[in-house]
Structure 1
Amino acid sequence: MLRSFSYVTDHSGFCGTIKNSPSDFVVTEIEMPEHLLRDTRAESLQKTGEAPLEESSPCLQHPKKLRKELRAEGCRGGAPRPSECDPGWPGGDPSASPDKNQREGEPKVVSGLEEASTLDSLLGKPMSELLSKFACDLKEAWDVKCNADAGTGEFLLGPILDKKNRADLHSAIRQKFPFLVTVTKDNEMIVKGNADYRELCQLVTEKETSDFFKFLDAKLENSTFSFEPDGNKEHRKVVHHFINRKFGKLLETKAFTVTDVNDQPNMSIMVRFRERSGSRKRSAGGFQGKQDLYTAFTLQKENLETLEAIGLLAAELGVLPSDFSYTGIKDKKAITYQPMVVRKVTPERLKEIGSKMEKKGMRIHNIHSACQHLRLGQLKGNRFDIVVRDLKHHSHDSSADLKERISEAMENIKTKGFVNYYGPQRFGQGQNVQTDQIGLALLNEKMVKAVKLFFTPEDTDDPVNNAKRYFLQTEDAKGALVMLPEFKVREKMLLRALNRYGVNHEGCTKGWLNIPHSMRIFYVHAYCSKIWNEAASYRLKIYGSKVVEGDLVFSEENDESVSLNDKVHVVTAPEESANKYSINQVVLPMVGHSIKYPSNKVGQWYHERLSKDELQMCKFRVSPLQLNIPGCYRPILKKVQNLSYCLEGSEKGIEIEDNHLNESKVSLHISFDLDPSCYATACLREIMKCDF
């Protein structure tokens, strides 16, 4: 898939072979912090021997998507505070103070002195004092004036170029001044008053308002917030309406009977985050029914696709493939380690199948209870440990020493990075029909064609390909079902629907709907990835490493209330002349219905390329299959982290001389980390100047 594509570096490279065996290509997913997966409450109960409560305590931050929605709704507050037990539910205490009972390991509220020190160090004392004066003036304007425009000014902090400093500054300002919001535009930080904070202050006390926005800022799943007891029903109704109007998509409210400071019964408004659609079911009598059971583990697999491994596990455990969640698809021809979570399976049950799975190329490690599922893309990156064998010069290059060529390549990749192509495994390397072809058929709503492409066999004589061959020749879905092994879950799901509804447009549509959504959209994403690869190669061929007018660059601003498209800037002619941006900031769109395209020749190329495939730029919704592809942006270039390498003799007694390397007698061992969605094969291609 990458042949004849562009490179970013100009060294000569060298030849070699990768993936001679799975152990030559080891991939380890860099996990999220352990507390995001592990049910720490369950572990502590095991240690203390206490009986578990009926409900799980909060132990996760909200998923990234929800955190973004919170910010988009205007949720700006102070430092995160401890979550509470579920008031009004088993074990809950509606009257618990927001600041009581902070749990070990949860975010600690930073003191005013620490905040001031942080702001002084980030801004300098003069600017920090000016910010404090702006905050005080704004609060005074809110307190004194009654008109809507009171205190609506802005305070400019100036350009903050370092991304980490910007993030620290956003956090420090929110902690010290919960009534302010911070916005970044072209690296310029702007501070202004939070209108929602001001409006709530007019309904409840300032302390309640501050604590409420801290509750929003903490973003802890299952956490709740209690307003002070309030016997005025009409006033409670106004507060209910305010929260529903401003944050109704994210929060829900309910009134509960509590005991006030005089030990008298009273009513209090309780707030909690809404369940996302498709997650845990609600009971009729309360906000939430019994929680699902989740078990987390690390899957080690060898010479298996991720989806194939999940099919084998699901068949053995008697659950659906959709009950498994993971953060990314891993290579087949490799030994890979990745965290997974399975629903409706106990840790004990998972341990029972360990020996059976070893016979099928899998090992299960680090089994423990978890709080929720994982999501695609929720990972920090991957660690690669790779062996390149059969080293030699390219046929056109025999003048320089091979060791020099390797050293030169490594230095270049460290400093210049590589073209961020999707690797060949994204498309089903070596298969007769690649996944992007199926994706294109689905986008064009050619359901029968997509099914037949899906069942196109490889040129081998084994049960799976024999079953596929039989189905294409006879369209006998029932007969093909009998021939397929149990672990081919996707194929069996599709065939069951085809057997029931027929191999026609309607039947094939229902067949695709029978496959989990994550598997359906996988094929469409493969097509989008192919287009991105071609666009990146075209962009580098016509413009090289120069940033030109019409290119798209991504602003790494911290304010997540800004939409994705608003963070993407179109380079102007003056900016091109001033060399304002570097090639490392240029992004290209992954095709979809809600992205902008470059306004230069690359944008025209996208239009022509999609027209060639009978797709228009706004047609990335496949309603019959419930597929919605909004699109996103991907940097053209990427850098490696923690790169190291060494040469090793393949036979005892072979020495690697300082000035000469004997071809084919040594192996190159390379280790490096890559960001999520980056491909080691694309990095190796840039290093070696070889297509795989």
Structure 2
Amino acid sequence: MEWDTLLFFISDHEGFHGTIKTSPKDFEVTEIDTYGQLVTNPNIQGTLTQTVHQGTIKVVKSKQTTPDEIDISNQECFNLNVILNPSVNKELERFTNQIRTKTSQCKGEQQNVELSLGTFADKNLRAVVHRAVRQTFPFLQTVTNQSEIRVREDQDFKELSKLSSEGESEEFFRFIDAKVPGSAFTFLPDDSKEHRTSVHHFVSRRFGKLVETKSFTDQNQTSITVRLRDKGKQPKKRAMDCQEEEVTLYTAFTLQKENLETLEAISYMAVVLGVLPSDFTYVGIKDKKAVTYQSMVVKKISPEQLLEKAAEFERRGMKISHIQPVCEPLKLGRLQGNHFELVIRDLKPHEKHELATLEDLIQEAVENVKNSGFVNYYGPQRFGSGTYVQADQIGLALLKEEMDTSVKLFFTPEDGDSLQNKAKQHFLLTGNAKESLALMPAYKARERLMLRALHRYGSGREGCIRGWLSLPHAMRLFYLHSYCSRVWNEAAAYRLKKLGFKAVKGDLVWSGSERGCKNTTENEPNAPQVHVVTAEEEMDDVFSLEQVILPMPGNSVKYPENLLGKWYEDRLAQDGLGSCRFRVTPLKLNIPGCYRPLLAKPQNITYSFLTAEESQTTSHSDEPCAPSLSIAFDLNASCYATVCLREIMKCHVS
């Protein structure tokens, strides 16, 4: 069933015809992070951002900040004027001046004085704040208490500064905090053996598991060299409570891609970088025929290695920016939403319309959806672009653990004589995975991974399982989520058709102020709670249709307690899933389900009508242009612009 055959609208305006995605540049999508900032211009309170710039990495605060360039090999030297709020930074300078200039009479009083730098919810940002403060002020110790970072005078630094100058002590502590593999620090020449022994003892006592010390004589002068031990022998951090400072080989970046599926882009980058597609994590899948900007994290690759491959990515229609080391991978769905900037071309009214002008039709349509929203269907991207087999059909086969069927569906070719279609057709006809692999193009990473596994383990049930396990976990989940999304779309249409446009008895709503599509897992202590609308609440109109949520099938969701609940039961039974546990154990897949608002609304919507002459200036063609519409808006995570446009235009869009 096509996703748009449901065609259930909630507004009664007439709409209009138009064409979207005439060019990828007519459909731009930019992720909005959990701090409400575009990933192309992140908020410094969410994460420090970096952009590729002539072989260096540039740290950027915001448009009005003068960037401070730092060498890519010394990324910890961030500017505190960039990281901290100006008032906090001023207070920190006052605090450090007080420590530096304190008199002997007040030493005892100030020994335990601390200053709060505020709370930082993001773990990665806390790690950067810790490092940046100590690189700037080596005589300070940073301490984390939950999300709050406090600073105080470092007693280790104080002890060393009695054995060497303050300047030399500062350089030594910067060396310790930087932890650059293979690096060394040499103290100034020292002719006193007793004094050198004291320095040796101090360094060994405080940092002995991290470094080794050795005295050497050059031109009758003796100095102490401190060398970082091998990485495997490094100790725990200087401050035991700063666990987020642990260095991990994860690199975050913003990916700009054009006319590429997200999974296709990942497959290509994995080949270029020599890692697995599963080493990439992201928060959402973006449109193919569009220019999109999204956050990603790659495992086992350093910022330097990623930067080296930037030119190769560009040749494939991808650009990378805002590169930075981070401590952990991204998790699917961890974003606030997406910002869309679209151009709808070739505008014309529907055959029957009453309003005088096309511009009037557009204004009425956009204002209606701005105020009333739209049915929050999953869009066509959720089901793939296949003509004969779509992703939800594969997902159903996997849920039923029909492994052989799922693989055959996976390799069903489309029309055309492309290499991938020839390879798929050859596999279905012969079952010969080795020969099919030789035909399959190199950039078709998913298909090649599957064929390699089938060649190695055979095409029986075990081989099919191995084939699916060769794909990244997120890719396997995609097919199951696609099926569940299909059921949700049908449930939404049935709910509106049978129960109307108000919240009724048995409907589900959030019990608190929750919004958006939220997963439920038995491992999550603060899982969102749902409330069942009572007859009294229906009578008193306590809840609106905008507050109604529908479950996406899974093993941890509650179903409505009205006729829609029975519909879910019958619908799943119809597909042979009456007793489904929504776990595919052989493939290590678990579907807890989630709750999704029945309606969605675009936010921050702006639009302008472009005449035929104005449209010509933005067109990517030399052909004469019809009027067009430029429109921009924000949608919550997992909401689809194509669905919003369908409600505005009252016609098929994809």
Corresponding residue for 1:488? 444
Contact 1:38 1:371 in 2 (8 A): no
Q: Which residue of 1 aligns with 2:475?
A: 519
Instruction: Determine if contact 1:37/1:371 at 8 Å carries over to the other structure.
Output: no
Q: Are the equivalent residues in 1 in contact too, given 2:120–2:147 (CA < 8 A)?
A: no
1:215 matches 2:145: yes
Equivalent position amino acid for 1:475 in 2: G
Query: Which amino acid counterpart does residue 23 of structure 1 have in structure 2?
Result: K
Aligned-pair CA distance for 1:619: 1.7
Match of 1:549 in 2: 505
Which residue matches 2:89? none
Q: Is the 8 A contact 1:644 1:671 kept in 2?
A: yes
In the TM superposition, residue 218 of structure 1 has moved relative to its aligned partner by: 5.3
Partners in 1 of 2:427 and 2:491 — Cα distance?
37
Per the TM alignment, residue 368 of structure 1 is displaced from its structure 2 partner at its CA by 2.9
- Tell me what 2:577 maps to: 615
User: How far apart are 1:290 and its partner, in Å?
Assistant: 7.3
Task: Look up the match of 2:253.
Answer: 297
Shift of 1:402: 2.0
2:16 equivalent to 1:14: yes
| Displacement after TM superposition at 1:21 (Å) | 1.2
Structure 1 386/617 Cα, relative in aligned 2: closer, same or farther at 3 Å?
Answer: farther
- Correspondence 1:442-457 to 2 at 5 A: 442-457=398-413
What SS does the aligned partner of 1:651 have?
helix
CA deviations over 1:86-142 (Å, ceiling 9, x no partner): xxxxxxxxxxx9984655xx4289xxxxxxxxxxxxxxxxxxxxxxxxxxxxxxxxx
Q: Structure 1's 366 and 562: CA in aligned 2 closer, same or farther, altered over 3 A?
A: closer
Question: How many Å separate the matches in 1 of 2:386 and 2:473?
Answer: 25
CA contact (8 A) 1:296 1:342 kept: yes
Corresponding position: 1:506 with 2:462: yes
Query: Structure 1 residue 5: deviation in Å?
Result: 3.0
Task: Work out which of the residue numbers 368, 373, 376 in structure 2 matches 1:412.
Answer: 368
CA distance in 2 between counterparts of 1:356 and 1:505 reads 39
> What's 1:135 paired with?
none
1:469-514 Cα offsets, whole Å, 9 max, x none, are 1111111111111112222111111111101111111110111111
Of the three residues 330, 339, 350, the one matched with 1:394 is: 350
Q: 1:304-319 alignment to 2 at 5 Å?
A: 304-319=260-275
Mapped partners of 1:653, 1:667: distance in 2 = 6
CA distance in 1, matches of 2:499, 2:112: 57
Q: Which amino acid aligns with 1:360?
A: R
Partner Cα separation in structure 1 for residue 616 and residue 528 of structure 2: 58
Q: Which residue of 2 aligns with 1:690?
A: 651
Q: Residues 503 and 538 of structure 2 are in contact (CA less than 8 Å); yes or no, is this contact kept in structure 1? A: yes
- Match of 1:2, SS state, is helix
Q: Could you tell me whether the CA contact under 8 Å between 1:377 and 1:676 is conserved in 2? A: yes
The answer to whether the 8 A contact 2:49-2:323 is kept is no
Query: Partner letter of residue 457 of structure 2?
Result: Y
CA distance in 1, matches of 2:433, 2:112: 60
The C-alpha deviation readout for 1:197-222, integer Å capped at 9, x for no partner, is: xxxxxxxxxxxxxxx9x9346599xx
Provide the residue aligned with 1:28 in structure 2: 30
Shift of 1:373: 1.9
Cα pair distance change 1:619/1:536, threshold 3 Å: same
Name the counterpart of 1:590: 552
Matches within 5 A, 1:176-255: 215-216=145-146
For residue 367 of structure 1, give the secondary structure of its aligned residue in structure 2: strand
The amino acid that maps onto 1:581 is F
- Equivalent residues of 1:565, 1:596 under 8 A apart: no
Write the distance in 1 (CA, Å) between the matches of 2:605 and 2:461. 50
* Counterpart AA for 2:270: A
Moved more, 366-375 or 411-420: 366-375
Corresponding residue to 1:368 among 320, 324, 332 = 324
Counterpart residue type for residue 396 of structure 2: L
Of the three residues 623, 629, 635, the one matched with 1:668 is 629
Residues 615, 627 of structure 2: 8 Å contact kept = no
Report the CA distance between 1:348 and its aligned residue: 2.4
Q: Is the 8 A contact 1:392 1:664 kept in 2?
A: no
| Residue type at the aligned position of 2:568 | Y
Return 5+ residue gaps in structure 1 as ranges: 57-81, 83-96, 110-211, 221-281, 656-662
Q: Does residue 681 of structure 1 match 2:642?
A: yes
Q: How far apart in 1 are the matches of 2:260 and 2:232?
A: 40
Cα 1:26–1:47 change in 2 (3 A) is closer
Distance in structure 2 (CA, Å) of the matches to 1:652 and 1:509:
55
Structure 2 Cα separation of the partners of residues 617 and 473 of structure 1: 34
Q: Which residue of 2 aligns with 1:528?
A: 484
Q: Is the 8 A contact 1:38 1:296 kept in 2?
A: no
Give me the whole-angstrom Cα distance separating, in 2, the residues matched to 1:53 and 1:4.
Answer: 52
| CA shift digits 1:278-322 (9 cap, x unpaired) | xxxx97997799743222222111111000001111101111111
Say which SS state the counterpart of residue 613 (structure 2) adopts. Answer: coil
Structure 2 stretches of 5 or more lacking a match? 33-38, 51-56, 60-67, 79-91, 93-110, 122-142, 151-230, 238-244, 618-623
Measured on the aligned residues, the alpha-carbon RMSD in Å equals 4.0
Query: Do the aligned partners of residues 22 and 108 (structure 1) sit closer, same or farther apart at CA in structure 2, a change above 3 Å counting?
Result: closer
Report the AA paired with residue 7 of structure 1. Answer: F
8 A contact 2:120–2:149 mirrored in 1: no
Q: Tell me what 2:282 maps to.
A: 326
Q: CA deviation at 1:7?
A: 1.2
Following the alignment from structure 1 to structure 2, what is the Cα–Cα distance between the partners of residues 571 and 458? Answer: 46
TM-superposed deviation, 1:39: 8.1
Cα gap change, 1:534/1:374 in structure 2, threshold over 3 Å: closer, same or farther? same
**Contact 1:324–1:343 at 8 Å: present in 2 too?**
yes
Given that 2:400 and 2:576 are in contact with CA atoms closer than 8 Å, whether structure 1 keeps it comes out as yes
Quote the Cα distance in structure 1 between the aligned partners of 2:500 and 2:360.
26
Q: 2:597 aligns with which of 635, 654, 664?
A: 635
1:39·1:370 contact (CA, 8 Å) conserved in 2? Answer: no
Alpha-carbon distance between aligned partners in 2 of 1:624 and 1:361, rounded to the nearest angstrom: 36
Q: How does 1:548-587 map onto structure 2 within 5 Å?
A: 548-557=504-513, 567-587=529-549
Partner amino acid for 1:502? Answer: G
Q: After superposition, where does 1:58-73 map in structure 2 within 5 Å?
A: none
Decide whether aligned partners of structure 1 residues 38 and 488 sit closer, same or farther in structure 2, where only a CA change above 3 A counts: farther
Q: Distance in 2 between matches of 1:653 and 1:33?
A: 34
1:605 deviates by 0.6
**TM-score, length-scaled by structure 2:** 0.68
Matched-pair contact (CA < 8 Å) for 1:383–1:674 = yes
Deviation at 1:43, TM superposition (A): 8.4
User: Contact conserved, 1:325 with 1:340, CA < 8 A, in 2?
Assistant: yes
Report if the CA contact (8 A) 1:37-1:370 is conserved: no
